[in-house]
Amino acid sequence: DDEPVQGLTLNQAVEKMRGPENSKIKLKIMRKGQDKPIEIAITRARIQVRSVRSHLEGDDVGFIRVTQFNEQTTEGLKKAITDLSAQAGDKLKGFIIDLRNNPGGLLDQAISVSDAFLEKGEIVSTRGRNAEETQRFNARAGDLTKNKPVIVLINGGSASASEIVAGALQDHRRSTVIGTRSFGKGSVQTIIPLGSGNGALRLTTARYFTPSGRSIQAKGISPDIEVLQDVPEELKARTDTRGEASLRGHLKAEGDEQTGSQSYIPPDPKDDKALHTALDLIRGIQKNSAYPPNSKSAVPN
């Protein structure tokens, strides 16, 4: 609307573009190779970020990518499982849940996503300084995949809610986890309002623990099968995520800390070594002692 944005940060520019739903805004965009800006008129609308995408790999393996945990994630996952099961029919051999570079999101969605693959048992607990502050979240009966094999993909960019899901399915031996160690964001923050116009205080009040009692904080989830990607030479200096343990002022781990790991995902699925390892295991082409997971070593329910 003829307001200059030069010199503004991305967030400041986006804030200028916000407005009432169904109202209009004009944008002038300068593109490389053009002499003058082009003008585009758009109508503002409420944008719902689609957090779940899915497709069949071949005709026998369901692939579900979860990019974040928002209000629509669990419903998106349920729909993906239903649709893929219907498409593959009797040919369906299993599911791959891709949580790589998923920064996390809502705790309740992480719990309900984990619950979709479990029949019973603890999913996650939060523990503060006092024993009475401990909260435990448990699964309810009903595995939506009907006990089909599941493999979870993680990497150094998988954090928070992603780690809750990976840790729960790993501890219950419901899934084999493949990739590289996750980020290690396992702390709970509480927001305390300071009154009108005075902002709020954010305090770290608890830690997340997996069903077996492992703390995620500054440690992350270690995969059952580590798979490193082939990183292009020009990207090698910036494909590792530092991890929670490398952040200044982070909440210290209980015991030894673990730093970050590789977070690169090849743009072409043909080059994705973690994906191909998962597919080969589900299809029986490749053998590994970690797949299928040994249910006898699962955490007691």
Catalytic residue numbers read: 160, 171, 185
Q: Is 39 exposed, middle or buried (0-12, 13-18, 19+ CB in 10 A)?
A: exposed
- State which H helix or E strand residue 89 sits in: none
> Cα separation of 120 and 117, whole Å?
9
Beta strands at 200-209 and 122-127: parallel, antiparallel or unpaired: antiparallel
CB atoms within 10 A of CB 228: 13
Alpha helix (H) residue ranges in 182-294: 273-282
For residue 286, which amino acid is it? Q
Contact (CB, 8 A) for 299 and 211 = yes
Q: In the numeric block, which tokens belong to residue 28?
A: 């002038």
Sign of the dihedral defined by the CA atoms of residues 202, 156, 278, 122, in that order = negative
Is-contact 63 96, C-beta < 8 A? yes
Which structure tokens are listed for 149?
């094999």
Q: Is the CB of residue 52 less than 8 Å from the CB of residue 80?
A: yes
Cα–Cα distance measured from residue 300 to residue 115, given in angstroms and rounded to the nearest whole number: 16
